[in-house]
Amino acid sequence: MYINQGRPTGWIEVICGPMFSGKTEELIRRLRLAQIAKQKVEIFKPSVDNRYSSEHIASHNDQRFTCTPVTEASKILELIGDHTRVVGIDEAQFFDKTIVTVCQKLANRGLRVIAAGLDQDYLGAPFGPMPELLAVAESILKLKAICMVCGGLAGRSQRLTRETSQVVVGASERYEARCRACFDPDMGASAEQPLFSPEPASSKK
């Protein structure tokens, strides 16, 4: 934590880590504090993330916050209200690199931008625009989950199915948190059958 004694300015905070590490919980916590202080808050997420609800961001322990789903990052600039002080963005990894420009523009206008997203995909590779967002952010929090195999600190999201697209939306029916030692990016690909049969989208959590 540092105290800025210079000119008033906006900034970018990034909350990253694997699935189940509490990114959305932490995002909701920060947004609620801002609301208590009567700051106008707006939250956006990519409409591809339709788990739980399309009008909410939701954590795996079922905390929720109303949001606006957008098909592309540039819509955030069109939709943002004049009096908004704090902008929350969840699942930032699903946007293209325009999200970096959008966050920069908002911060340059004096807004506080808080973006949460997966830093790594199911192969352990940097996910979409996250590396660039992390590079331009003023503040970064890299969270860990608990490894479902050994109980260590988990920084990776293990996909449990054979699906090979980078973007496959799901929760514990498709993914689990793993540490570096227990993470196996080839696990789904080498299985004869799906390790788990994902349920239809409507019943996903």
Active-site residues: which are they? 91
Q: Which residues bind ligand ADP (CB under 6 A)?
A: 17, 19-25, 59-61, 145-146, 148, 177
Residue placing its CB nearer to ligand ADP in the complex, 24 or 161: 24
24 part of the interface to Mg ion, by CB under 5 A: yes
Contacts of 76 (CB under 8 A, 6+ apart): 44, 70, 87, 89, 102, 106
Residue placing its CB nearer to ligand ADP in the complex, 63 or 98: 63
Min CB(123)–ligand ADP separation in Å: 18
Residue placing its CB nearer to ligand ADP in the complex, 10 or 26: 26
The rounded distance, in Å, linking the Cα atoms of 116 and 173 is: 22
Q: Which two tokens stand for residue 117?
A: 């997203």
Q: By rule CB under 5 A, what count of residues binds Mg ion?
A: 2
Closest residue to Mg ion in the complex (CB): 24
Q: Which of 137, 45, 47, 39 is nearest to 83 (CA)?
A: 39
The rounded distance, in Å, linking the Cα atoms of 179 and 155 is: 6
Residues in touch with Mg ion (CB under 5 A):
23-24
